Structure 1
Amino acid sequence: MPHEHLAPDVALRGLARETRWMDATDQARLVRSGGVTALELVDAAIERITALNPAVNAVVMEWYDHARSLVAHQAAEGPFAGVPFLLKDFMAPYAGQTMSNGNGRLKDLAVPSTADSTLVSRFRGTGLITVGRTNTPEFAAMGTTEPRAWGPTRNPWNPAYSTGGSSGGATAAVAAGMVPIAHASDGSGSIRIPAALSGLVGLKPSRGRITAGPFADEWGPAVSFAVSRTVRDTAALLDAVCGPSVGDLVVAPAPDRPYVRELDAAPAPLRIGVLDRLPSGGAVHADCAAAVHDAAALLEELGHQVESAFPPVLGQADVADGPLALMATSPMLGSFRHLADALGRDLTAADMEPLTWAAYQKLKRVLADDYLQAYAESVRYRRQMQQWWADGFDLLLTPTTAAPAPAIGSYSGDPRQAAALGARYIVFTRPFNITGQPAVSLPLHWNRAGLPIGVQFAAAHGREDLLIAIAAQLEQARPWAQRTPSPPNENLGEARARV
């Protein structure tokens, strides 16, 4: 059911209304054809953000003048030339612009970055025009996007609910139709979880598929990429930004052909394992189980071999606590060091939110021996997990999350309560951050309350091609891009006719 909180399309005029639900591929084609100028397209996005953002709080930094300047001085080249874009307020240094990581102190300091990350430079090289930054929980540490520094991001499908985290602002912006595609990052599910709760495509690439340079490394669980409304946008952007850079520690095997070639190449019958419950044996929410069952039935209709099976190690190891959790959370120490360096002093509880402070205190107590044990456990886990694919399975289908979107305000200041709630949202996603395998969340199901419920597909390391192929096949069989959280745009056909 649509919700009144989002400005209906009649509140938008002209190009802002016509292009609201166009994906990035069509918007770029519109510019190339001369149907509109890049400046007109960017101004249309700015108009949408101005009208829609007060209801959802997805965009927290507005770079409108900078974006218009880029259009005036940047050559109109690249596959997405002129398409408006948003960067997450985390893991995306952009020369001359600030980044707060969702932290109030860094927000107030407003220190501009001195250089782009390599990925940001590649985004620029595609022709994308960045118009601002999107909301994220403090240091991307929570399963919901409600930082004190910026306030909560609300789900465009229902404002009482969250879009999850930590790329919650990015998915809210795309789901609301502000921009067609946005940067996101994923350290325990932070691309896939909010994509699942927002009705979007969220691909977490393989470790080493996209360089983390020059300010980070590829050894850890976190990767950066984007969220979109269509598989073709995801495939084309991955083609444009993937690949290593100087000094990369991990490099994923190069694809045999461009990812966009997978869009029309229906995969041969695949062997797909299905997990419709918690790996430990407990039940997931009925909505999430129903999403998996529906997806499995559709896969069978498409000719794939579907069976109840999953890697045994998934049910034998706890990714929410213990050594494996340490491997996922220890990179947060880098964010804490960055804050201390920016402040020029030791950190205090007043410098961050209580839950983040609790995480900082816990990580400070970790010894070298603890970390070595965690690393050894992650190696064992990775090898046992990937053996399942080596033994003959092509894909694993799971819920993306074990529960639908949490209500705004669900996370209290109690670290134990927050950890228990957060476990519902990382149980299926964090394993593939630890192993480095690619996984994608697809919007194939909505519950009776009108909230999106995503399903996840995981592949062997380096097999983004297979994920894109199956995603494209499912998108064609059960299209989702025209399903929007506000009244459909009656003038969409007019804009498409101009492409």
Structure 2
Amino acid sequence: MSLSPQEYMGSDATELARQITEGHTTPAELLDVAIAQYHRLNPQLNAVCQPMFEIARQRVKQPLAGPLAGVPILIKDAIQDYAGLPTGNGSKVFSRIPARQHSHIVQRLLNAGAVIMGKSNTPELALKGVTDPEAFGPSRNPWNMAHTTGGSSGGSAAAVASGMVPMAGANDGGGSIRIPAACCGLFGLRPSRGRVSVGPTHGEIWEGASSDLVLCRSVRDAALAMDVLAGPNRGDPFVLAPAALAFRDLAKREPGVLRIGYSTRSPVDTPVHPEAIRAVKNAAELLRSLGHEVVEAEPVYDGMALARCYLNMYFGQVAATLDQAREMGARDEEFELLTRTLAAFGRSMSSATYINSHRQWNQFGQALGSFYQQHDLFMTPALAHPPIRHEKANLPRKQTRVIELLLNTGLLPLLARWGALDNMVSDMARKNLTYVPFTQLANLTGTPAMSVPLHWTADGLPLGVQFCGPSASEALLLQLASQLEAAQPGPINGRL
């Protein structure tokens, strides 16, 4: 007998796999429930941009084996290529181009028996901390649809938080797993650089700053995803040694007594909302009650320098992507205004400027390495502000008109090349990171970090707490997260 919608929504992927293994339901029955949830929820949430129902229906007719056998999931419409289907990256241009082969991530999910039923929505080129692509429209937060899901894995977050699927693919190049996890009351782990391959089409994404995993509702599901997805693809430029044991086993161990440093100060000196500060302070008290040593301390680095380095990477990467699109016959005008603006800055930047900016990443890694000599983990707000309303993410109309004028007249790259827009870049760095200033440190240092759903605001919105660790410390993060999950379990799904 099939699970009821309520039972389905209340189960994580691990539990659904168990139900199938023990014969309480079948992959076909679960898929029917998941598709019914899609039809009920997606018109409101806009979480899925590309349904794959016929592919999924054919798959559940086949024998399935593995730890995710028969479990319906989504993959993200960025990086996670499914052969024969476009990986749209939130863009009209790339939504026309089918992938030639499965990505390592997709192949491993299929090898684990997962039933991929669609692709989740993402901002154009996965560039933003909100999910509002012009090509597919905004994804909405199940806890309050007037507010953002975060980004760039916002479609995945909306789908999991609403109970449409128990797990969905995600990637994180500047916080894109942790930000939507924090916005939607989910658990989100960003693995270390090199832990999960993004091959074979790609070697590394964004100079190794981006990592792939999933968004999920339980820590054990994240550990399961690590066991399924971790590992190299031949030819990868950076490979981590495998864990000594399965992450599912490691996650069950006690973390021991940890020394955890924390800070609620924005590294770019922008305001931090009282709810975000309260989230960390309450987490500190919870950690102390569990026996951990929690002290106010932070790595010593220049937050604005990190923000500028991060934007320079954006500029160069977006310029290269739009140049690639031009070679395929696309026009810049087919991309969104922000995307074209970033590309214009990238085209005006010299290769020496880009390389010198990239070389600074080592300074941030050294600062974090020094911090971890004295502390096991670093705790901050995941977001500097509760999930914002959709309209707050829009560029001011006056700024939009100025940028359009500079782009249309060809002045923007010229002025950028002369250095006349340096103040504009610094202002862009500060403004763009006002709501999400805490996540990029892990990306530029290649280290793991997670958002744990520990706080809900007075308005009933989730607000996650971030924990960062040294390279390859995913097991320790999962152990602490398991302990916190047991001590303070949260609501399972959004309100729909």
Q: How does 1:154-165 map to 2 (within 5 A)?
A: 154-165=140-151
CA deviation after TM superposition for structure 1 residue 161, in Å? 0.4
**Whole-Å Cα distance in 1 between the matches of residues 241 and 263 of structure 2?**
28
What's the secondary structure of 2:113's corresponding residue?
coil
Amino acid aligned to 1:176: S
TM (norm. structure 1) is: 0.89
Instruction: Give the match for residue 281 of structure 2.
Output: 293
CA deviation after TM superposition for structure 1 residue 43, in Å? 1.1
Q: 2:35 aligns with which of 34, 39, 46?
A: 46
Instruction: Return closer, same or farther for 1:223/1:333 CA change in 2, 3 Å cut-off.
Output: farther
What's the secondary structure of 2:58's corresponding residue?
helix
Counting matched residue pairs gives 465
- Residues 88-97 or 457-466, more deviating: 88-97
CA deviation after TM superposition for structure 1 residue 224, in Å? 1.2
**Whole-Å Cα distance in 2 between the matches of residues 443 and 202 of structure 1?**
9
Amino acid aligned to 1:456: Q
**Whole-Å Cα distance in 1 between the matches of residues 226 and 77 of structure 2?**
21
**Whole-Å Cα distance in 2 between the matches of residues 205 and 249 of structure 1?**
16
Q: 1:170 aligns with which of 156, 170, 186?
A: 156
Amino acid aligned to 1:297: E
Q: Which runs of 5+ in 2 are unaligned?
A: 401-423
Encode CA deviations 1:409-443: one digit per residue, 9 max, x unaligned. Answer: 22234476875543024311011100000000010
Q: 2:22 aligns with which of 33, 40, 46?
A: 33
CA deviation after TM superposition for structure 1 residue 339, in Å? 2.5
- Residues 252-261 or 169-178, more deviating: 252-261
RMSD of aligned Cα (Å): 1.8
Q: Is the 8 A contact 1:87 1:182 kept in 2?
A: yes
Encode CA deviations 1:137-165: one digit per residue, 9 max, x unaligned. Answer: 11111221111111111110001100111
- Residues 252-261 or 132-141, more deviating: 252-261
Q: 2:444 aligns with which of 431, 434, 438?
A: 434
Amino acid aligned to 1:225: L
1:474 aligns with 2:487: no
- Residues 250-259 or 292-301, more deviating: 250-259
Instruction: Give the match for residue 473 of structure 2.
Output: 463
What's the secondary structure of 1:237's corresponding residue?
helix
Amino acid aligned to 1:466: L
Instruction: Give the match for residue 403 of structure 1.
Output: 385
Instruction: Give the match for residue 361 of structure 1.
Output: 344
Q: 2:185 aligns with which of 199, 202, 211?
A: 199
**Whole-Å Cα distance in 1 between the matches of residues 294 and 34 of structure 2?**
42
Q: Is the 8 A contact 1:185 1:222 kept in 2?
A: yes
**Whole-Å Cα distance in 2 between the matches of residues 435 and 39 of structure 1?**
43
Instruction: Return closer, same or farther for 1:150/1:182 CA change in 2, 3 Å cut-off.
Output: same
**Whole-Å Cα distance in 2 between the matches of residues 288 and 236 of structure 1?**
29
Encode CA deviations 1:15-59: one digit per residue, 9 max, x unaligned. Answer: 333211210000001111111110111111010011011111111
CA deviation after TM superposition for structure 1 residue 282, in Å? 5.2
Instruction: Give the match for residue 321 of structure 2.
Output: 335
Encode CA deviations 1:309-333: one digit per residue, 9 max, x unaligned. Answer: 11111x4543322x34323553334
Amino acid aligned to 2:459: A
Q: How does 1:416-427 map to 2 (within 5 A)?
A: 420-427=430-437
Amino acid aligned to 1:18: E
1:412 aligns with 2:394: yes
CA deviation after TM superposition for structure 1 residue 354, in Å? 0.7
Q: Which runs of 5+ in 1 are unaligned?
A: 1-12, 488-499
1:16 aligns with 2:15: no
Q: 1:224 aligns with which of 199, 212, 219?
A: 212
What's the secondary structure of 1:206's corresponding residue?
coil
Encode CA deviations 1:425-482: one digit per residue, 9 max, x unaligned. Answer: 43110111000000000100000111000000000001001100000000000012x4
Q: Is the 8 A contact 2:319 2:344 kept in 1?
A: no
1:257 aligns with 2:245: yes
What's the secondary structure of 1:202's corresponding residue?
strand
CA deviation after TM superposition for structure 1 residue 114, in Å? 1.1
**Whole-Å Cα distance in 1 between the matches of residues 487 and 492 of structure 2?**
14
1:451 aligns with 2:465: no
**Whole-Å Cα distance in 1 between the matches of residues 304 and 394 of structure 2?**
27
Instruction: Give the match for residue 407 of structure 2.
Output: none
Instruction: Return closer, same or farther for 1:292/1:363 CA change in 2, 3 Å cut-off.
Output: same
**Whole-Å Cα distance in 1 between the matches of residues 346 and 73 of structure 2?**
35
Q: 1:209 aligns with which of 178, 195, 201?
A: 195
CA deviation after TM superposition for structure 1 residue 263, in Å? 3.0
Instruction: Give the match for residue 370 of structure 2.
Output: 387
Instruction: Give the match for residue 98 of structure 1.
Output: 86
Higher relative contact order (CA 8 A, sep 6+): 1
Encode CA deviations 1:326-366: one digit per residue, 9 max, x unaligned. Answer: 23553334532443243x25x33x21111111011111112
Instruction: Give the match for residue 255 of structure 2.
Output: 267
CA deviation after TM superposition for structure 1 residue 71, in Å? 1.2
TM (norm. structure 2) is: 0.90
Q: How does 1:66-77 map to 2 (within 5 A)?
A: 66-73=55-62, 75-77=63-65
Instruction: Give the match for residue 4 of structure 1.
Output: none
**Whole-Å Cα distance in 2 between the matches of residues 446 and 246 of structure 1?**
43
Amino acid aligned to 1:294: N
Q: 1:141 aligns with which of 111, 119, 127?
A: 127
**Whole-Å Cα distance in 1 between the matches of residues 476 and 271 of structure 2?**
29
